[in-house]
Amino acid sequence: MFGLAMLASASGPVGYERFADSYYYLKHQFFSGVLPGLALFALAAFVPYRAYKRYAGALFIVSIIFLILVFVPGIGTDYGTFAQSWIDLGVFSFQPAELVKLTFLLYLAAWLEGRAGELKDWQSGLIPFLISLGVISVLMLLQPDVGTLSIIVAIAFMMYFVAGGKVSHLVGLGIFGILAFLISIQLSPYRAARFTTFLHPEFDPLGVGYQINQALLAVGSGGFFGRGYGHSLQKFQYLPEVVGDSIFAIVAEEMGFFLTALFVFLFVAMILRGIRIARESKDGFGKYIVVGVMTWFGVQAFVNIGAIIGLMPLTGVPLPFLSYGGTALTISLVAAGIVLNVSRKNQ
C-alpha cells in the first residue's frame, strides 16, 4: 500500500508528460502487478510448499528458455534500455530475470536438500553448484543485466552457506567475483563511467553523474520532516527513473528522514521475521526457500537504497514493493506467499 501511494506521487508528472495521464503508472501497476500478485500470493500461501520440489527442475529449465528467448528477434526487446531483458508477446510483456530469481531459488533449495552432507566436497557439491549458477550467469551477462545477476548470485551464495557449504569455497568464489567485476568495469566504458561517478559524484554532473547528483539533491532537500506527500520537486522531470530505481529519493524528499527511516526499519523487521521462520522450519527445503527469499528482498533493497544515497554505484536495481514493474511486484508477492506458507507449516 505504501508502494502504491509513493508511486502515485512520484509518477504523476512523468505519466502526464508521456501518456497525458498522471495516474498511468499507478493504474498499470495495480492491474498488472497488484491484482495478479495478490491472487498468486493467496494461492502460494495455501499450496503446500513441498509441492514445488517436484517441479523445481522443470521450472528451472523453463526459466532458462525464457532467458534465451530475450535474444530472439521479434520476441526479445530492450525498451530503450541498455539491457535486452524483456519478452514482448504483444498482449503483455515481462522480464524473465525476475521469474528466474524465484525459479532458480526453488531449484537450488530442492538441490541443496538432496545434497545434504555432500556440499563440503568440491566434486559433488561445489562443481554442480557452479555449473547451474554459471548457466544463469552467462545468459544474464549477455543481456547484460549485471544488477539482477548480483542479486541472484547473493541468493545462491547465502543458500549454499546456510545448507552447509564450506566457507573457504565461498571466500574463493567471492574473490573471483570481485576480480570479474573489476575486469567488467575495465571492458565496459559505461560501467567504468558509473563507477567513476560513484567515487566522484561531482564528475560530469550534467552527463553520467546527473542521476546520482539529482538523487542526492532530492534526499538532502527532504530534511528531517520532508516536503510533504506529493510535494516533491525532483519528480518534475529533474530526477531520471523516478518510477523505477530512483523512487527511494522521492520517498526521502517527501517523507523526510524520520518516516524514511521507519520505512527502512520495516524492511529490516521483515527480514528478521523471515530469519525466525527459517530457523523454525521443519525441513531443509522450507528453510532454504525462506533464506533465499529474505536474501533477495534484503540485498535488493540494500543495493537500491545504497546506490541512491551514494554508498554503492548505480546498478538499476528496483526497490522491492515500491518501484514500478508489474513482473517484479507479482513475483515478489508470490515469493512472500511461499514464505507465509512455510510459516503456517511451522505452526
Number of domains forming the structure of the chain: 1
Rounded mean pLDDT, 66-80 = 77
Q: How many CA atoms lie within 13 A of 49 on its CB side?
A: 31
Q: Percent of the chain at pLDDT above 70?
A: 88
Backbone angles phi, psi at 93, to 5 degrees: -130, 155
Query: How many helices (H) and strands (E) in the chain?
Result: 14, 3
Closest CA to 28 of 101, 97, 92: 92
How sure is the predictor about 174, in pLDDT bands with cuts at 50, 70 and 90? confident
In this predicted structure, the answer to whether residue 225 has a pLDDT above a threshold of 70 is: yes
Rounded mean pLDDT, 31-57 = 92
Closest CA to 307 of 95, 82, 147: 147
Q: H or E element: which one contains 151?
A: helix 146-162
**Contact yes or no for 219/247 (Cβ under 8 A):** no
Rounded mean pLDDT, 124-149 = 83
User: For residue 198, what pLDDT is reported?
Assistant: 65
User: For residue 67, what pLDDT is reported?
Assistant: 85
Lowest-pLDDT range of 160-164, 178-182, 223-227: 178-182
User: For residue 195, what pLDDT is reported?
Assistant: 67
Q: Percent of the chain at pLDDT above 90?
A: 42
User: For residue 185, what pLDDT is reported?
Assistant: 67
pLDDT one-digit tens code per residue, 271-284 = 999 999 999 998 88
> Using the 8-state DSSP alphabet, how is residue 203 labeled?
S
Prediction pTM value: 0.88
Domain range for 309 = 2-346
Q: H or E element: which one contains 94?
A: strand 93-94
Rounded mean pLDDT, 107-131 = 80
Closest CA to 287 of 161, 169, 174, 168: 161
User: For residue 191, what pLDDT is reported?
Assistant: 65
Beta bridge partners of 200: none
Residue in the block written with cell 497488484: 34
